[in-house]
Amino acid sequence: MLSKKEMISAYIIIIVAIGIIHTCYGHSISRGSFPKGFVFGTASSAYQYEGAVKEDGRGQSIWDTYVHSYGKVLDFSNADVANDQYHLYNEDIQLMKDMGMDAYRFSISWSRIYPNGSGEVNRAGIDHYNDLINALLANGIEPYVTLYHWDLPQSLHDRYTGWLSTRSIKDYAAYAETCFKEFGDRVKNWITFNEPFTFTVQGYALGIQAPGRCSIFKYTVCGAGNSSTEPYVVAHNVLLSHGKVVDIYKKKYQPKQGGSIGITLDSFWFEPATNSSADIEAAQRALDFFLGWFLEPLIFGDYPKSIRNRVENRLPRFSQTQSSKLKGAFDFIGINHYTTWYAEDRNGTNKTTEVLLDDSGVLALSNVVGKPVHETAHSTWLYIVPHGIRSLMNYIRHKYGNPLVLITENGMDDGNSPSTSINDALNDKKRIKYYNDYLTNLLAAIKEDGCNVGGYFAWSLLDDWEWGAGFTSRFGLYYVDYNDKLKRYAKNSATWFKNFLAS
């Protein structure tokens, strides 16, 4: 009989092999290649798209505060206007309709509904999202609504440090329930949180996203924080918030409204840097810390053992009631997947610091001697490895019982160089190949491997304001001319999607 160590090694190797062997599964794919009812859409978020940050009673979010602090964004830009989708949503809906998209994933700005995070509802905010939802449905596009995409009301951070306090659970639940009441008769797909790993680590361990807390770069990047404890506290409160909101929805709203609810988690795929058992185990730990941290409480009711063993008493514990409420608290799991990295063992057992990034004992590498060198997108972290999406889907199928998965984001960016003409920017051959190859591997995961995947959302409909990268990065199927009234132009990838969806 294989030891547990040998089983983990064999498990990772098999999944890596499956992905690599079938990287080129077919060359001609279309909507018709996918199962009947498979959903295709595009994705966005309120803060990156809407603009209008001071209109119609919207309150300030932590991102408004963060980006107006000097040096937080690469190009010193902000999202005060962004793509102005707050005013231009009807035009953008026609772009989706022209491509033949089934759905649109967008987020609601909490501070448009509750300018102070709680208290009195802002009816102008309710009216705006009613108009957006109605316009989508009138054009045959199904809304997929994310309740939280990183833009916590600033007032809640000021009042009790936001997600660091258990008070956030009650306020988030009240906000979510307002959305269910106001929009749930038409919105049938809800996502509680987008990428809790990202905003937890980057906002509370590294300090490079709002609210910019950390201790490892104290006095240079961050003015306050504790990188060894705060990320785990935030993650715990976010998970408890998710569990509470799903419980409310399933008991009070789902029976009448008939919708579904889930959460969106982000994960790279990790491959061992070498075939050594140490690196194979490191790849498993990387997945535990990246994906399992948030997924295992929803599947098994607790954090992965590898995290518990390494973080020890800095990792909060769930009560039995909390654990039972979290276990199975989803109808689907959203997965945002962009890239694949290598994992090398860094044996964190004898680490000298107790911070989240050291806890895993993994060194994540973009390239390794003797391994394939992957092409990169504009973002330096985004390596183009199409078989990674198939490997990740198979990993979820094997380890977590094949839950229903929606790919809620997948895409790549080009740079935004002033020397690049609009015509050249529209000719985005690399993006077309990226989508074709990732969708080809996703199709193989579904049809050949039996992975339970029900939808795919491209990131993103439009070029947008990309958080710390500002406007230096272009992820869109449509080019946005920031120098000429935010005019939208279809890139060749938009035409490719139109043909893909029509065939």
Just list the catalytic residues: 195, 409
**Strand ranges, E, within 259-377:** 260-266, 269-272, 332-336, 340-345, 362-365
DSSP string for 114-134 = -TTSSSS--HHHHHHHHHHHH
What is the Cα–Cα distance from 141 to 189, expressed in whole angstroms?
12
Dihedral over alpha carbons 263, 55, 489, 95 (to 10 degrees): 60
What is the Cα–Cα distance from 437 to 384, expressed in whole angstroms?
10
User: Which DSSP symbol is given to 313?
Assistant: G
> Residue 455: beta bridge partners?
39, 406
Cβ neighbours of residue 392 closer than 8 Å, sequence gap 6 or more: 267, 269, 335, 337
Numbers of helices and strands, H then E, in the chain: 20, 15
Token pair of 72, please? Answer: 């937080």
Cite the DSSP H helix spans in 74-218: 85-99, 110-113, 123-138, 154-160, 167-183, 196-204
